[in-house]
Homo-oligomer: A and B are copies of this chain.
Amino acid sequence: MPTFSGKLAEASKRNNSLLCVGLDPDPALMPEMEVAAFNRAIVEATQDLVCAYKPNLAFYEALGMKGFEALRETIDCIPSHIPIVGDCKRGDIGNTARAYAGAMFEQWGFDAVTVSPYLGWDSIEPYCRYEDKGVLVLCRTSNKGGADFQDLSFQGPDGVSLPLYEWVATKVQEWDTRGNLGLVVGATQPEELRRARELCPDMPILVPGIGTQAGDLAAAVRCGTDRDGMKAMISSSRKVLYASRGSDFADAAREACVSLRDQMQEALASRSSA
């Protein structure tokens, strides 16, 4: 059976890229045009430069019914060899999680989703039953408030004190009997990213926060990739989508992607030679 991890590796090799582009349309920042047409232009201009696309559902839900239609058109215009991560950060009890998994994998047709760990394993397991899909669990997030709970230290089972996000990574590694779990760790916390990669050496890790949030791109590559320099999806949204607000927005997005991809490849090369 094809797996998310396999599809990601293929796309990453084909485009020589660790760059994931977040398709988060914001009418206040976009040129004046339809969301679906905007996204299509972005995808056409960047599809040979990315390892994945990642629409965040919030930006479509915010537009009401026409937002859902734009999301449908967006998913449909992405070439089938490029994995699509549905960034929804859902987290709910068993029967509700089953409904969300149906929405994300069957209705929308995403290749992977992001989920929240707060409700524990039985809130995550229903997504994992889709064995060809990826399930990326929030671990250490890129925002300031990420520290509020994720950095709290508690006594682990062996008496060693460890922060919540490390315990989440430990449990996700333990739960991954089907081989389709992964993590989300922000680029703004390279030390935490390094630690998460240590705890989950073979998982895909989605790494947001390198663009507007100003995480260190080279550190994200160094700390987020696996031993083969793979399995990191380093994600940028606003820096790519809104590189220009003029009619040249798609060309500007392409330029931004070339630059990001090349910086990532350089960081990878210097890591290998170090």
Using a CB–CB cutoff of 8 Å, the interface residues on chain A facing chain B are 24, 26, 56, 58-59, 61-65, 68-69, 72, 89-97, 99-100, 102-104, 106-107, 116-124, 138, 141-150, 152-155, 164, 167-168, 171, 213
A65 CB, min distance to chain B CBs, angstroms: 6
Q: Is the CB of B119 within 8 A of A143?
A: yes
- Quick one: which of B107, B142, B145 contacts A64, CB cutoff 8 A? B107
- Tell me whether A142 and B93 are in contact in the complex, defined as CB-CB below 8 angstroms, given that A64-B107, A149-B164, A149-B168 are known contacts: yes
User: A90–B116 Cα gap in the complex (Å)?
Assistant: 9
Q: Is the CB of B92 within 8 A of A58?
A: yes
- Quick one: which of B116, B138, B143, B149 contacts A167, CB cutoff 8 A? B149
29 pairs of residues in contact across A and B, judged by CB atoms under 8 Å = A24-B96, A26-B99, A56-B92, A58-B96, A58-B100, A58-B103, A59-B96, A61-B100, A62-B106, A63-B107, A64-B103, A64-B107, A65-B68, A65-B69, A89-B91, A91-B116, A91-B118, A117-B118, A117-B149, A118-B118, A118-B138, A119-B138, A119-B143, A119-B145, A119-B148, A121-B145, A149-B168, A152-B154, A152-B167
Q: Is the CB of A143 within 8 A of B120?
A: yes
Q: Is the CB of A150 within 8 A of B118?
A: yes
Residues of B contacting A154 with CB < 8 Å? 152-155, 164
- Quick one: which of B64, B90, B120, B155 contacts A148, CB cutoff 8 A? B120
User: A26–B146 Cα gap in the complex (Å)?
Assistant: 35
Q: Is the CB of B107 within 8 A of A62?
A: yes
Q: Is the CB of A145 within 8 A of B122?
A: yes
User: A171–B147 Cα gap in the complex (Å)?
Assistant: 13
User: A100–B116 Cα gap in the complex (Å)?
Assistant: 16
Q: Is the CB of A120 within 8 A of B149?
A: yes
Residues of B contacting A117 with CB < 8 Å? 118, 148-149
